[in-house]
Structure 1
Amino acid sequence: MRTLRVATRRSALALTQTQYVVDLLRQVARDAAFEIVPIRTRGDEIVDRALSEVGGKGLFVADIEDALASGQADLAVHSLKDVPFELRDGLVIGAVPRREDPRDALVSRTGQGLFELPAGARVGTSSLRRQAAIRHLRPDLRVDTLRGNVDTRLRRLEEGQFDAIVLAASGLKRLGLAARITEYLPVEQFIPAVGQGALAVECRADDAEVLRYLSAIADAETTRAVEAERAFLSRLQGSCQVPIGAYAEPAGRDLRLLAFVAHPAGDGHVRLERTGPDARALGAAAAEEALRQGAEDWLSAARGD
């Protein structure tokens, strides 16, 4: 019997997501045993600065990819929104299981929704994308950076440091905290992060046995949708320094893609909606249009070109 070592971050959410994937795999890999390998990543250690200042979401993935590449782990479970558009050589995303709720969620101390919060209310989020969306819809609110795991963010809200916070609905649901959600923010107004609500199971490209197991837990509809979203991100060469969102969903036989790019300082934004049958072509075409509409200058400035 082969023991498959599954690398993951140490947070309660990451461990819950990993257990979900392991439970799926146990149904198809009955001749395998599983060992969860928790890894503390650099992204988990740096909680006093915005991700855009310290290297981006790839900080949550790099140490785990080290474990895969070195053979310390056989597969890894990530939140797909944390996975850069370029993977390390020799590694692949072997499966994207069925997606959870992709929406952002507002949690407020008073039960007030986004448009009910009083002017000057303090809203916390770790995401430049969410900050840009809030400032566009409610420029009278105060938006501040909030890092840390879900429990830490909820505690800071309860302590009165914020009037409301914005989190991924998927994380709250997976942790059994859906009752804490004050308001689900519609994808038309808050276009989600690329891959939000989806999980990525990464492994070595030459591990045929693991890839065979993973193919059995992949969800075709989710995989197709996130392929379009990641094609959008890849063509933009996007990073955490520029607010970017993309969300794809079935539209008959086609995909409908909502996409968003904003100036980091709030000096403009591009919002697109496109429909098409080919996921990668759809994402790339939307990205080309965003670049033509001004995103090229914002992204170049962020890269220091």
Structure 2
Amino acid sequence: MKRNLTIGTRRSQLALWQANYVAEALRRHDPELTVQLQHIVTQGDKILDVPLARIGGKGLFTTELEQRLLDGTIDLAVHSLKDLPADVPDGLCLAAITARHHVHDAFVSNTYASLEALPAGARIGTSSLRRKAQLLHTRPDLFVADLRGNVDTRLKKLDDGQYDAIILAEAGLQRLGRADRITQLLPVDTMIPAVGQGALAIETRADDESLKQALAFLNDEGTAAATTAERTFLAAINGSCQVPVGVYGTVQDGILTLQSIIAAPDGSQVCRTTTRGSAADSAAIGHEAACTLLDDGGRRILTDLGIIPTY
């Protein structure tokens, strides 16, 4: 393996935390290794005044990094796994999926103690169709408004009184030292997380065998199995991180449990299922869950949104 590695990363504070986390792990593992970061601007970073679902859901925060990998400008890219499309481009691979922590969505408010405590008509901010659909399914009396920007920008908008509450990923708040802003962790029964939420993905060139071997120590088998099921589910419905679906896998004693939903954007309909099986069959479990939900009304929901499932 080469002794100098370049990690491609977005410039946001959270992306830099993630890239530095991997860089430090690599340096600890191999003190002779030199690791540097290269900052890359993605489409999702450039367009901040339009809801994500309107500008296309696939690759908004990853395409530019993947192109740098393919042209050899960088050696690896560190992604929030939830931002990474289900289909990895030819010539690239996911060399490691880190152990998942802090998987929940977080309710953040300066006034109200919980989602349940919000009064009718309260204004709650999120940029995610997945969150919007589940919020409105639980609380159809709320007004869900779009919210873009990095974590600090979103918190400032809350503090400025633009929202009564906002929903953010627990992982991002924890990583940035903002855990004190969490008012309530939303249970999975209320808010199923996004595909890969809480995990980091390390992407590199598929033909770089020495680098893939060097990155293997960062891979967590349980998280990799769970997120393989989640990403297979996403691929089967032809979805992206900006469609109203949630899927969350856990592994215990070799058994993978996958909870998944497909929801109408207004929350009026939610198709939900739980699928279990051997963690060794993670891809098959993800596909089974997708087929079940598509046949149970999910296909109609997605078709109405212009999404044609691959199954």
What TM-score do the two structures reach when normalised by structure 1? 0.97
Give 1:288's aligned residue: 291
Give 1:300's aligned residue: 303
Give 1:43's aligned residue: 44
Give 1:11's aligned residue: 12
| 1:74-93 equivalences in 2 (<5 Å) | 74-93=75-94
Distance 2:270 2:37 in 1: 42
How many percent of aligned residue pairs carry the same amino acid?
48
Count of residue pairs brought into register by the alignment: 305
* Cα deviation, residue 240, structure 1: 5.0
Distance 1:275 1:114 in 2: 30
The 8 Å contact of residues 101 and 170 in structure 1, kept in 2 or not, is answered as: yes
Cα separation, partners in 2 of 1:29 and 1:300, compared to 1, 3 Å: farther
Residue identity matched to 1:263: A
Give 2:265's aligned residue: 264
The 8 Å contact of residues 112 and 118 in structure 2, kept in 1 or not, is answered as: no
* Cα deviation, residue 110, structure 1: 1.0
Give 2:69's aligned residue: 68
Distance 1:145 1:115 in 2: 20
Distance 1:64 1:85 in 2: 16
* Cα deviation, residue 241, structure 1: 5.6
Give 1:279's aligned residue: 282
The 8 Å contact of residues 80 and 198 in structure 2, kept in 1 or not, is answered as: yes
What TM-score do the two structures reach when normalised by structure 2? 0.95
Give 1:126's aligned residue: 127
Residue identity matched to 1:82: D
The 8 Å contact of residues 241 and 302 in structure 1, kept in 2 or not, is answered as: no
* Cα deviation, residue 25, structure 1: 1.4
Residue identity matched to 1:4: L
Deviations 1:162-182 (A, max 9, x none): 010000000000001111100
* Cα deviation, residue 22, structure 1: 1.0
* Cα deviation, residue 100, structure 1: 1.7
Give 1:100's aligned residue: 101
* Cα deviation, residue 88, structure 1: 1.2
* Cα deviation, residue 30, structure 1: 3.2
- Give the CA RMSD over aligned residues: 1.3
Deviations 1:134-161 (A, max 9, x none): 1011111110110110000000000000
Give 1:164's aligned residue: 165
Residue identity matched to 2:68: A
* Cα deviation, residue 53, structure 1: 0.5
Q: Unaligned 5+ residue runs, structure 1?
A: none
The 8 Å contact of residues 137 and 268 in structure 2, kept in 1 or not, is answered as: no
Residue identity matched to 1:10: R
Distance 2:202 2:19 in 1: 9
